[in-house]
Amino acid sequence: RFLKASTALVAGLLLAACGKQEPPPAPAASAPASAAPVPEVKTFTVGTDAAYAPFEYQNEKGEIVGFSVDLLTAVAEKAGFKVKFVNTPWEGIFNALAQGDRDILISSITITDERKQTMDFSDPYFDAVQLIAVKDGAKVTKFADLKKLKVGVQTGTTGDEVVTKLQGKTATTTKRFESTPLALKELESGGVDAVVADNGVVIHYVANNPGAKFKTVADSTFAPEQYGLAVKKGNAEALALVNKGLAAIKADGTYAAIYKKTFGVEPPAAAPAA
Ligand code: ARG
């Protein structure tokens, strides 16, 4: 017995002396001892309002696809985490983040000072601006022309903000919709005279619905906007991972490839993510 104990002791001392801090022997079924320890891979639940082509939308199979999905999937791959996209209506999306029901939001969300009070944003990944859609024959040439017209917006978006500012908080001419496509459908059927929404979505809709006979009107008074991913205030871990992955895909051309796949052109040179 003494012999056994002392052998173990000597072996232990030798191991310690060699600096070999071997972990306890692995069970037979696990990876060979020579393999690097497998780091824990986090899965983040991602909220997105998937009614926003070409950024986030559902394909015929009901899968959530688009620029945002490709982007965050690539970001996650680079930074070593997994993502699970969950369709989340815009009206409840910030609340879902605050409640912890979603870890990350990617939903073409404009970074604003007001939103920064209640959530943390990643580095910007896309430049946007408001754009007006009207019927082909409309006599609208600038945003101010919409002052007294019926204008459709998606509730709680930056489009809603600018139109509310133009028309006044109590204006009955500001028509708020659950989604941007619903507002655009209403323009098609004549229920509103104009829609104000993010340029990318308006341009996509006009291009894919020639029958709607829309034209777009730009206005230089619209402030430039930038999209960011959002995490719950204080979620430094998720934010750091997202920013790490974003930097990686911007640096290695993945971002440009995803941009080109979605929009058919190279990203503008001055873009935040160029
Ligand atoms: N960029 C605008 C905003 O942040 C509209 C975003 C709407 N996104 C969506 N998936 N419906 O207010």
Query: Which atom of ligand 1 is closest in space to residue 109's alpha carbon?
Result: 4
Contacts of 83 (CB under 8 A, 6+ apart): 43, 44, 46, 72, 73, 76, 104
**Alpha-carbon separation of residue 218 from 163, 195, 249 (angstroms):** 14, 12, 31
How far is the centre of ligand 1, averaged over its atoms, from the C-alpha of 157 (Å)? 5
Q: What is the pTM of this model?
A: 0.86
Please report the pLDDT score of residue 269 as a whole number.
81
Query: Which atom of ligand 1 is closest in space to residue 156's alpha carbon?
Result: 12
Please report the pLDDT score of residue 234 as a whole number.
98
Is the shortest distance between the CB of 49 and ligand 1 below 6 Å? yes
How far is the centre of ligand 1, averaged over its atoms, from the C-alpha of 108 (Å)? 5
ipTM attached to this prediction: 0.98
Cis peptide before 23 (omega within 30 of 0): no
Please report the pLDDT score of residue 16 as a whole number.
44
pLDDT by position in tens, the chain (length 274):
444 444 444 444 444 444 444 455 545 555 555 677 877 899 999 999 999 999 999 999 999 999 999 999 999 999 999 999 999 999 999 999 999 999 999 999 999 999 999 999 999 999 999 999 999 999 999 999 999 999 999 999 999 999 999 999 999 999 999 999 999 999 999 999 999 999 999 999 999 999 999 999 999 999 999 999 999 999 999 999 999 999 999 999 999 999 999 999 999 986 565 4
Please report the pLDDT score of residue 36 as a whole number.
78
Is the shortest distance between the CB of 127 and ligand 1 below 6 Å? no
Please report the pLDDT score of residue 24 as a whole number.
52
Is the shortest distance between the CB of 107 and ligand 1 below 6 Å? yes
Is the shortest distance between the CB of 160 and ligand 1 below 6 Å? no
Residue for token pair 């990686």 = 248
CA 51, 96, 114, 110 dihedral sign is: negative
* CA atoms of 127 and 123, how far apart (whole Å): 12
* CA atoms of 118 and 242, how far apart (whole Å): 18
